[in-house]
Amino acid sequence: MRAVFPGRFQPFHYGHLEVVKWILSRWDEVVILVGSAAESHTLVNPFTAGERVEMIHESLKWGGIDARKYTIVPLLENLESLTWISLVREITPSFDAIIAGNPLVKEVSKAWGIKVEAPPPFRRDVWNSTNVRRKMLKGEEDWRELVPPPVVRIIEEIKGPIRIREIAQSDRS
């Protein structure tokens, strides 16, 4: 039994890690679908697909998750598109369910006859990518408490907070 977990993971945080653990407590494997892979260097999507794949892989390794239990697949299509599910079926191994809270993803998946389950929120009020990016933008150092240590390392290596602030400045011009 395999489930697909779609998201943008901008960046991967503790809530995402908890969802992966929850999925693996219910299914044998998870396909982590990194959406909007063609987009980067914007306020909503500041990190590249490669950076996000590395964040996810390193976080799962750090979290003790067996690499045989997951596959990470970048999807160039935006997860908000009504046609994305057909692409998902083309680029992923077969799967039994999609794990998503996004209303459009749930609606499109159900329309295709795919079982959909919403994960528990896992402190969603704190652990969410928008919150992490906002803290970086404002120069608040406590963003590091919201993401696994490997994500902190990767973001610091690529100067992620500086990137986000520079993007914000260029968007105001």
- pLDDT above 90: percentage of residues in the chain: 74
pLDDT beneath 50, residues of the chain: 173
Let me know if 55 is exposed, middle or buried by CB neighbors in 10 A (0-12, 13-18, 19+).
buried
Residues 1, 114: Cα–Cα separation, whole Å? 13
* pLDDT at residue 110 in the model: 85
Q: Please tell me the pTM assigned to this model.
A: 0.92
What domains sit in the chain, N to C, each tagged with a CATH number?
2-172 (3.40.50.620)
* pLDDT at residue 106 in the model: 85
* pLDDT at residue 77 in the model: 73
Q: Tens digit of pLDDT for each residue in 115-125?
A: 999 999 888 88
CB 83 within 8 A of CB 109: no
